[in-house]
Amino acid sequence: MNANVLKIARLPDMLTERLFADFAVLDSDEQGSGLGEGAAHIRALVANGESKVTRELLARLPALKIIVVFGVGYDGVDVAAARERGIAVTHTPDVLTDDVADFAMALLLGIARGTAPADRFVRQGRWADGPIAFTRKVSGARLGIIGLGRIGRAIARRAEGFGMSIAYSGRTRQAVEYAWYADVRQLAAQVDFLVVAVGGGAQTLHLVDAQVLAALGPQGYLINVGRGSVVDEAALAQALVTRQLAGAALDVFEDEPRPHPGLLGLDNVLLTPHMASATWATRRAMADLTLANLSAFFDGQPLPTPIPG
Ligand code: NAP
Ligand code: 8YV
């Protein structure tokens, strides 16, 4: 039987095994390398949140009817090209919200309280030489959130527990008590910690630029759990080197898996490898939802979680 599902992304083994057990799958890359004549039979494509699903790839797949994304963010998918062809797109919202919000707080606390350097301090035997430097208080501080969506709101709820004041920016004002700023620069000027919880794509490209970082200022911290493309990483490295920004904690980067080289030698950054949703429980739930979307498509049932619009 010809394979009719194309997998173009690295996925957890627990999902890959179930995919290959239950469907006729071809493993490839984002260019569709080695597809050959098999391309004509592909009806479903499985990608992840980091995948680039280009117009060129779609053009090579004449029978394609659905793109199933293992992740909530689908900024790498050329949605306009998919819609022109009537190709459905699904993703995995909600099931990862808590983990990503938890991780945003872990990054915020980690960079402010210096947990990574403190760990090195103890391991390197430097404790005996004197006390470690004081760090930044989080409780009661001012938090700004770019993108008060599912994840942004979950971050805000957690921050309330830390007695933080909360403000946000987004395209629309929401029915919440938090202060709204239409302009990200104005938001940055009012807060101590600025968390990016917005998705990627052309509309948010470099929303956090040199001016926003300058507004956040030498006492300010940037945390990014949204997408790397939202932050001008070269400007960020420059602001950190010159101490025009106090610190940054980043889970996502402009050119993954290669953080800007200027960030790697700095002691005022905390860097993690795009892992905010990577707990066993959440990755299982994401895998279940990915397979549920794929099964619904092949069974002719309504798709559980199509992208909006
Ligand atoms: P969501 O519910 O759709 O929230 C996105 C929010 O962004 C919305 O509130 C939207 O509000 C706001 N927004 C859109 N365009 C904006 C703009 N130009 N300026 C400011 N705000 C804007 O999505 P979610 O489930 O919270 O996920 C958000 C993103 O988190 C995903 O797209 C993904 O990139 C990222 N993510 C990362 C990880 C990780 O591992 N680090 C894991 C999961 C998700 P308005 O429409 O009012 O503007
Ligand atoms: C995942 C993500 O790391 O959901 C998203 O948008 O970025 C993350 O949850 C990713 O999709 C899995 O590769």
Q: Say yes or no: 102 and 223 in one domain.
A: yes
Both 261 and 221 in one domain: the answer is yes
Ligand closest to 150 (CA) is 1
Give residue 276 CA to ligand 2 midpoint distance, Å. 8
Q: Are residues 175 and 262 in the same domain?
A: yes
Residue 171 in contact with ligand 1 by CB distance below 6 A: yes
pTM of model > 0.95: yes
- Whether residue 116 is contained in a domain is answered as yes
Is 206 annotated in the active site? no
In-domain check, residue 260: yes
Question: Of the residues 41, 227, 260, 283, which is catalytic?
Answer: 227
Do 237 and 102 share a structural domain? yes
User: Does residue 264 share a domain with residue 186?
Assistant: yes
What separation in Å is there between the alpha carbon of 131 and the centre of ligand 1?
40
Phi then psi for 170, rounded to 5 degrees? -175, 170
Q: Do residue 74 and residue 177 come from a single domain? A: no
Owning domain of residue 254: 97-271
CA 25 / ligand 2 centre spacing (Å)? 21
Query: Measuring from each residue's beta carbon to the nearest atom of ligand 2, which residues come in under 6 Å?
Result: 48-50, 70-73, 96, 274, 277
For residue 33, the model assigns a pLDDT of 87
Residue-level pLDDT at 135: 98
**Residue 305 resides in a domain:** no
Predicted local confidence at residue 34, as pLDDT: 85
Count of structural domains, the chain: 2
Q: List average pLDDT for each run of 10 residues in the chain, which is 309 residues long.
A: 94 98 95 90 97 97 98 98 98 98 99 97 96 97 98 98 98 97 98 98 98 98 98 98 98 98 97 98 98 98 97
Please indicate, yes or no, whether residues 119 and 244 belong to a single structural domain of this protein.
yes
Question: Looking at residue 31, which CATH number applies to its domain?
Answer: 3.40.50.720
Whether residues 104 and 84 share a domain: the answer is no
What is the C-alpha to C-alpha distance for residues 64 and 5, in angstroms, rounded to an integer?
Answer: 9
